[in-house]
Amino acid sequence: MNYRGIFSIALTLLIIGAFASIHADSWKLPKKAKYFAPNKKYYLEVTPKKLESQLKYFEDKVEGRNNAGTLKGATEDRAKGAFYARRADGGYSKKWEFPLLNEVSPVSAIVSNNGDYVVTFDNWHGVGYGGDVVVVYRPNGAVVKKFGLEDLLTEGDIETLPHSVSSIWWGGEHYIDDANGILILRVVANGRSPWEDDAKYHELKIELATGRPLESKRDLFPQPRVFSSVDAGTAPAPSDASPGKPTCASAEESFDSPEFVRVPSGQLYVKAKERPLLPYPPIAKAAHVQGTVIVEILVSKGGDVICARSLSGHPLLRAVAVAAALKWKFEPIEASGSPGKVVGTVAINFKLTDKDVNPNNQPRN
């Protein structure tokens, strides 16, 4: 029995099922398309690679490429572009024809009013992925510059963009400033999908003649940060108020033991000499979940955290907060009547913020 074949088909069907369940991932086979300059004097005609079917395309993606290095099931090697200019009689004449960098087809394209530049965007069935997310061409097909998202945006900014099964939905309606020879990329700035009414954008400018970005790559958008602070004693919401199960270094350790002294959060916090913090949980980041987790910790005489449990906070944040607190180290804590162990609480904060909100000088995650 060909188990590999069965697995490949099952995986393919699973992928297709996932795509079918998400509006943004329902892809039709690419068709020939024309992209006109705003003044209608020029246009780019895109002829995509011919595919047998979407199913065949997925199967080939799962199986890999054949010996010739092209996708099985494809009768054309690569997408093609043809540049047309309007004649005096109102018709159009083909001036150049050339291969595009996209394997199957770009998702969209724009043409400058003066006919000097053509820009393509993204890849069919993979918006935001690949080294040809943005490609600036001369009308004869010469490549001025190509960009992947990582060439334009920081890793943190890319993480803030809306993701789906197949794509990173990063941009809106890009355009060309003909008077200044500048490509304007409209990048989603508030985590919303480009087709949503409340989507907001940041405009990145690229000099068309050279392909040079006109601003340096840096964090542009609010990004998730993790930082620690003193538990201010704010009462948690009722839905967040149930303590989590303790995680302890050994079965002998427990919050139920009477052999410790409870100390105020502030007294405990100032004695922390190492406060490592784990990265923002990916699932919480994707869901734009933020908030504070109050963690109760049991600290040994030697300054190690030997038990920790969450007292409040969002379920997607609790486990990471507890795991981080277990790595903290403390200087000796003097407390009246203490046999050496102390208990207190600290706050681990997860927040979407414009800047690295880090009042305690913790390293950025």
Q: Are 206 and 240 contained in the same domain?
A: no
pLDDT digit string, tens, across residues 89-106: 999 999 999 999 998 999
Q: Are 240 and 341 contained in the same domain?
A: yes
- According to the model, what pLDDT value does residue 356 have? 41
pLDDT digit string, tens, across residues 180-203: 999 999 999 988 889 999 999 999
pLDDT digit string, tens, across residues 131-157: 999 999 999 999 999 999 999 999 889
- According to the model, what pLDDT value does residue 340 have? 79
Check residues 281 and 5 and name the one with the higher pLDDT.
281
Q: Are 140 and 231 contained in the same domain?
A: no
pLDDT digit string, tens, across residues 315-325: 999 999 999 99
pLDDT digit string, tens, across residues 152-184: 999 889 988 888 888 999 999 999 999 999 999
Buried residues in 213-250 as b, exposed as e (16+ CB within 10 A): beeeeeebbbbbbbbbbbbeeeeeeeebeeebebbbee
DSSP label at residue 29: P
Cβ within 8 Å of residue 296, ≥6 positions away: 243, 255, 308, 309, 310, 311, 343, 344, 345
Domain contains 158: yes
**Mean pLDDT computed over every residue of the chain:** 83
Q: Are 205 and 227 contained in the same domain?
A: no
SS (H, E, C) 277-305: CCCCCHHHHHCCCCEEEEEEEEECCCCEE
Q: Are 83 and 200 contained in the same domain?
A: yes
- According to the model, what pLDDT value does residue 121 have? 98
Percent of the chain with pLDDT over 70: 80
Q: Are 196 and 280 contained in the same domain?
A: no
Number of domains forming the structure of the chain: 2
- Alpha-carbon span 85 to 77, nearest angstrom: 26
Q: Are 333 and 203 contained in the same domain?
A: no
pLDDT of 21 > 60? The answer is: no
Confidence of residue 338 (pLDDT cuts 50, 70, 90): low
Domain contains 364: no
Q: Are 98 and 235 contained in the same domain?
A: no
Domain contains 125: yes
Domain contains 28: yes
Q: Are 187 and 259 contained in the same domain?
A: no
Q: Are 230 and 194 contained in the same domain?
A: no
Task: Among 189, 213, 237, identify where a domain stops.
Answer: 213
Cβ within 8 Å of residue 69, ≥6 positions away: none
Question: What is residue 317's three-state secondary structure?
Answer: helix
Domain contains 360: no
A 10 A CB-CB count for 269 gives 21
Confidence (pTM): 0.65
Q: Chain centroid to CA 148: how far?
A: 13
- In which domain, by residue range, is 114 found? 3-213
| 78-87, 193-202, 248-257, 344-353: range with highest mean pLDDT | 78-87
Task: Among 190, 213, 236, identify where a domain stops.
Answer: 213
Q: Are 30 and 9 contained in the same domain?
A: yes
- Over range 13-18, report the average pLDDT: 38
Domain contains 358: no
- Over range 286-296, report the average pLDDT: 90
- According to the model, what pLDDT value does residue 165 have? 83
Q: Are 253 and 206 contained in the same domain?
A: no
- According to the model, what pLDDT value does residue 122 have? 97
- Alpha-carbon span 318 to 304, nearest angstrom: 20
